[in-house]
Copies of this chain bind each other. A is one copy, B any other.
């Protein structure tokens, strides 16, 4: 395994999360930072012969102007979360990635995102665009002589998306591509399709529901490709999935759970568009009723507050009823750097997707549920139970590795 060369293809490579992922991997390689926030460096994962984070080869695409180095500078200057000295230390490494960042696709991802793109619209046919994306992946893989390429969607949230018949079945979906019905799919759909067709494990870290539609999940199963999503669970929802079970464990009745998320980065700017916000709120909102088994009065709000940059601030107000109908409350304030919370999860997911591919797993990876707000194919939303699923998986893999080692 030591000689396997592993690549990571980041969709949205010039965004804050991507920049943090790459800066982090470089910093780990050079021993300049600790892998705090990554679960795969703790037991029992450290026994699973996972790919070394520092050895990953990065490439990707984006629809924005600018460079990866500029994105890294923004991390230090605007956010203040990453020290300037660290950025300087890895700047040369980052510059080396630049040639591997290509032009992304913009297709039905909402005016908010389209406004970010430099070139004017999408005149090419769906089939042509898919071919281009597949070539991008294949070229990168061959250029770097990669044994495996993991594709991670870190692009901005697309507008919400409704499943139609042509999304259900692989054959229907192919026909939709042939007939060039572009209104039926999103940019994220094309990326996911291209990845799976190229045999690349695919992680949808965004809430964009157009990516892992049933037709593509079926295809992944058929092609033997592991995939997982949706929407990385980094902040308010993470806390929610840890706290909500407490009310169950005490039979306290949640009356209202109101969540307010303030953020000021590109993600926040895109989410300020009602059509894009809707996707996000949907994946955040269902967590509560799935855990509690009933639906209290609950709304999740996202507001764009530019001065906060990447430092998300969330206030949740939870009103609950206890014994003799007494009303009580719990509030929390979460203040975290969105990108720094997301990046270690992405690195974990890359390492675990590589493991899954190596082991011949295919289709959804339900053991990764704890990483996602809306874990596909999983009905368990409680954080600690999801974590236990991951631990059980790791123990099993360790056991099988031990068995293999014996033979």
Contact = CB atoms under 8 A, between A and B. Distances in A.
A352 to B, nearest CB: 14
A131 interface: no
Nearest to A37: B323
A155 interface: no
A37 B250 contact: yes
Given A80-B80, A84-B84, A39 B305 contact: no
B260 A315 contact: yes
A166 interface: no
A122 interface: no
Main secondary structure of the interface of A (DSSP, over half): mixed
A307 B313 contact: no
A335 interface: yes
B333 A331 contact: yes
A253 B246 CA distance: 22
A20 B303 contact: no
A309 to B, nearest CB: 9
Given A245-B384, A308-B256, A384-B384, A42 B239 contact: no
Interface in A310-329: 313, 315, 317, 319, 321-329
A305 to B, nearest CB: 5
B324 A23 contact: yes
A33 interface: yes
A297 B263 CA distance: 13
Nearest to A310: B326
Contact of A322 (B250, B253, B329, B340): B340
Interface string A88-109: 0000000000000000000000
A86 interface: yes
Interface string A1-39: 000000000000000000010011001000001111111
B246 A239 contact: yes
Could you say how many copies of this chain the assembly holds?
4
A334 B253 CA distance: 15
A39 B341 CA distance: 35
A255 B315 CA distance: 18
B315 A306 contact: no
A288 to B, nearest CB: 14
Most buried by B among A27, A258, A326: A326
Contacts of A301: 260, 301, 303
A261 to B, nearest CB: 11
Nearest to A241: B246
Contacts of A33: 323-325
Given A80-B80, A258-B262, A328-B341, 8 more contacts: A77-B83, A86-B324, A258-B303, A260-B260, A307-B319, A322-B336, A324-B343, A326-B340
30 contacts: A20-B323, A20-B324, A33-B325, A35-B323, A36-B321, A37-B252, A42-B251, A81-B324, A82-B326, A83-B84, A83-B324, A86-B324, A239-B246, A242-B242, A251-B344, A255-B307, A256-B308, A260-B301, A262-B317, A301-B301, A307-B321, A315-B317, A322-B341, A323-B344, A324-B343, A328-B340, A329-B333, A329-B334, A330-B334, A331-B332
